[in-house]
Amino acid sequence: MKNIKKKLMAILRENARLTSSQLAARLSISTEQVEQLLAELEASRAIYGYKTLINPEALGEEIVEAVIEVHVTPTRGEGFDGIAKRIYRFPEVRSLYLMSGGSDFLLFMEAQSLKEIAKFVTEKLATMDGVQETQTHFLLKKYKQDGVPLDGEDSVERLPVTP
């Protein structure tokens, strides 16, 4: 059962839009079983959302993304979790990770402009209690995200009939 759940998640991770009957075909189980498994996975938050990979630049839209290294002072009792929560509750923060190495947090955010990011960093983040230092890196170009190359892969045509 665990194995089939893992397979189901792996398939959905590649394509979350498949219907229950398509998933059933891929797993050699019934549609009802797929729905049951999905309900269980969602309830346990093994699956905690379905989102779409988007590239707004394809529509000519400019977006600015930044990765920010954040040094903080952990607090007694809460460690890093308290300050992490204060940071990630800002909706512009898309991802936040506690890291080993030079900085404590790695924060991913996106905005309409460089100015907006600067504003967030200088007004909200750097001035927050417990935040010691920030280093902001702007993304210049994305090559691959969530396992998908943004330029797409060259497709190679096979001969239609071979022995």
Please report whether residue 28 would count as binding another protein according to CB under 8 A. Answer: yes
| Residue (59 or 159) nearer to another protein, CB | 159
| Residue (16 or 114) nearer to another protein, CB | 16
Q: Binding mask 104-143 vs another protein (x if CB under 8 A, - otherwise)?
A: ----------------------------------------
The position carrying tokens 């940071």 is 87
Q: Is 2 helix (H, G, I), strand (E, B) or coil?
A: helix
Q: From the list 16, 25, 54, 99, which residue makes contact with another protein (rule: CB under 8 A)?
A: 25
DSSP 97-160: EE-SSS-SEEEEEEESSHHHHHHIIIIIITTSTTEEEEEEEE-----EETTEETT-PPP-PPPS
| Residue (3 or 127) nearer to another protein, CB | 3
Angle at 9 (CA atoms; ends 4, 13), nearest 5 degrees:
150
Q: From the list 12, 27, 38, 98, which residue makes contact with another protein (rule: CB under 8 A)?
A: 27
Please report whether residue 20 would count as binding another protein according to CB under 8 A. Answer: no
